Amino acid sequence: MRFKPLTGFRDFYPAEMVIRRGIEAAWHRAAQNAGFEEFDGPVLESFELFAAKSGEEIAGQLYTFTDKGDRQVAMRPEMTPTLARMVGARANGLPKPIKWYCVPQFFRYERPQRGRGREFYQWNVDVIGSADPASDAEVISVAVDALKALGLTADDIVVRLNDRRFLSRMLKTLDVDEATEPEVLASIDKLERDPAAVKKLEERLGSKRAEKILSWCERFPIDEADELKPVLEACEDFGLGAFVEADFRIVRGLAYYTGPVWEIFDRARSLRAIAGGGRYDELIKSLGGPDLPAIGFGMGDVVLTELLRDKGKLPEDPGRVDVFVIPVGDEMRGPARRVITQLRARSLRADGPNAAIKLGKALKLAAQSGATRAVIVGPDEWSNTQVKLRDLNSGDESVVNVEEIERS
RNA sequence: GUGGGCGUAGCUCAGUUGGUUAGAGCGCCGGGUUGUGGUCUCGGAGGCCGGGGGUUCGAGUCCCCUCGCCCACCCCA
CA of A7 to C1' of B67 (A): 13
CA of A2 to C1' of B54 (A): 27
Asked if residue A269 is part of any domain, the answer here is yes
Amino acid (one-letter) located at A260: P
Asked if residue A5 is part of any domain, the answer here is no
pLDDT at residue A57, as a whole number: 61
Distances (CA, A) of A167 to A135, A163, A186, A220, A259: 20, 6, 12, 11, 10
> Closest nucleotide to residue A6 (Cα to C1')?
B68
Q: Are residues A64 and A36 in the same domain?
A: yes
Residue nearest to nucleotide B76 (CA to C1'): A253
Q: Are residues A221 and A342 in the same domain?
A: no
Asked if residue A153 is part of any domain, the answer here is yes
Q: Are residues A286 and A341 in the same domain?
A: no
Distances (CA, A) of A38 to A28, A32, A70, A293, A308: 8, 8, 32, 20, 25
pLDDT at residue A338, as a whole number: 96
Q: Which chain B nucleotides are covered by protein, judged by CB under 7 A?
A: 1-2, 28, 31, 33-38, 68-77
Q: Are residues A255 and A336 in the same domain?
A: no
* Contacts of residue A39, Cβ cutoff 8 Å, sequence gap at least 6: A83, A86, A100, A101, A102
Last residue of a domain, one of A310, A338, A372: A310
Asked if residue A317 is part of any domain, the answer here is no
pLDDT at A65 over 80: yes
Instruction: Give the confidence band of A54 by pLDDT, cuts at 50, 70, 90.
Output: low
Instruction: Give the confidence band of A207 by pLDDT, cuts at 50, 70, 90.
Output: very high
CA of A4 to C1' of B47 (A): 18
Q: Are residues A42 and A179 in the same domain?
A: yes
> Closest nucleotide to residue A116 (Cα to C1')?
B76
**Angstrom distance (rounded) from CA A220 to CA A228:** 11
CA of A57 to C1' of B75 (A): 8
What is the ipTM for the molecules in this complex? Answer: 0.88
Asked if residue A8 is part of any domain, the answer here is no
> Closest nucleotide to residue A254 (Cα to C1')?
B77
CA of A24 to C1' of B46 (A): 36
Give the distance from CA A238 to its chain's centroid. 20
CA of A351 to C1' of B43 (A): 30
Given phi > 0 = left and psi -120 to 50 = alpha, else beta, which region is A350?
A: beta
- Of A28-42, A55-69, A193-207, give the range with the top mean pLDDT: A28-42
Partner residues linked to A266 by β-bridges: A157
Q: What is the pLDDT of residues A141-198, one digit of tens each?
A: 999 999 999 999 999 999 999 999 999 999 999 999 988 998 999 999 999 888 788 9
Pairing, β A387-391 against β A397-400: antiparallel
* Contacts of residue A375, Cβ cutoff 8 Å, sequence gap at least 6: A323, A324, A325, A326, A339, A343, A350, A387, A388, A389, A390, A402, A405
Last residue of a domain, one of A258, A284, A310: A310
When the pLDDT of each residue in chain A is averaged and rounded to a whole number, the result is 93
Q: Are residues A98 and A156 in the same domain?
A: yes
**Angstrom distance (rounded) from CA A339 to CA A15:** 29
* Contacts of residue A270, Cβ cutoff 8 Å, sequence gap at least 6: A310
Last residue of a domain, one of A274, A289, A310: A310
Asked if residue A88 is part of any domain, the answer here is yes
- State percent of chain A over pLDDT 90: 78
Q: What is the pLDDT of residues A365-377, one digit of tens each?
A: 998 888 999 999 9
CA of A110 to C1' of B76 (A): 10
How many folded domains does chain A comprise? 2
Q: Are residues A193 and A158 in the same domain?
A: yes
> Closest nucleotide to residue A297 (Cα to C1')?
B77
> Closest nucleotide to residue A54 (Cα to C1')?
B77
- Range(s) of the domain holding residue A22: 14-310
Cβ neighbours, 10 Å, residue A190: 17
Q: Are residues A257 and A332 in the same domain?
A: no
Asked if residue A316 is part of any domain, the answer here is no
Q: Check: CB of residue A216 under 8 Å from CB of residue A170.
A: yes
DSSP label of A166: H
Alpha helices in A191-332 (DSSP H): 196-218, 229-237, 283-286, 301-310
Asked if residue A315 is part of any domain, the answer here is no
State mean pLDDT over A214-243. 97
* Contacts of residue A237, Cβ cutoff 8 Å, sequence gap at least 6: A137
Q: What is the pLDDT of residues A90-122, one digit of tens each?
A: 999 999 999 999 999 999 998 899 899 999 999
